[in-house]
Amino acid sequence: ITPSLRYREQAFEVLVKYLNVLSVLASKDYASDIDKASIELSSSLQTLIEKTNAVDAANAAKVAGIFGTLVDTLSRPIVEAKRIDALKTIMDSSQEDLQTLTKLLTGSNTKIKGFIEKARESIILHANAARPQYNSPLRYDYDKNIADQLQEIEEILASLDAINKGIEKIPAAHKEIRVSLDQKQNSIEALKGLVQEVQRVNKFYRSLSQTK
């Protein structure tokens, strides 16, 4: 399960780096940070491609093409007068790629849940076989330990379901922010909120992989 979790960590890292590029471009002080943000995104994408080849070869071609137009756009100088136009172009060209990436994540979460559900079945099976006999002083502590493990598993499964729902909302939120640019609304705070949500999910995956 750990390779699968770390693959997802990297996918979320790509999302964070992509959204960071948008945040930088949305800022008037973008010039000093855009090169760094672009390099970080490119590096993150390359790592994701490598991990995809290792754990999800069937989707390797899809991942390899993600955000290609964006990287090409960022390879050219962006002048202040064209900054918002560049931001719009990047968001328009990346909408479908963002949907592809989030679908891969939500779809593969089923695999993680399968691993965890099998672990739960194994715990129950072994717990019943090794349970201390009735009236044994060890039985209470034993049952409590098993109950705690099962409760933790239930919390993880519930978290995965909640995370999937959050991931599914990302493309729509991205599209709404893009529309707000045409309406000349302040989109920086919305972008920051989206970055923070993706970072929160990524933190969960990291903590989960460290327990396996």
Q: What is the largest CA-CA distance in the chain?
A: 79
CB 73 within 8 A of CB 93: yes
Percent with pLDDT over 70 in the chain? 87
The model's confidence at residue 154, banded by pLDDT at 50, 70 and 90, is: very high
Each residue of 103-126: pLDDT tens digit? Answer: 888 877 777 888 889 999 999 999
Query: In this structure, what DSSP letter does residue 136 have?
Result: -
Which residues form the domain of 34? 2-210
* pLDDT attached to residue 209: 61
> In sequence order, what are the residues at sequence separation of 6 or more whose Cβ sits closer than 8 angstroms to the Cβ of residue 55?
3, 4, 7
The whole-model pTM stands at 0.72
Query: In this structure, what DSSP letter does residue 28 have?
Result: T
Nearest to 62 by CA among 22, 92, 102: 102
Q: Is the pLDDT of residue 193 over 70?
A: yes
CB 7 within 8 A of CB 53: no
Nearest to 59 by CA among 3, 4, 104, 11: 104
Count up the domains in the chain and report the number.
Answer: 1
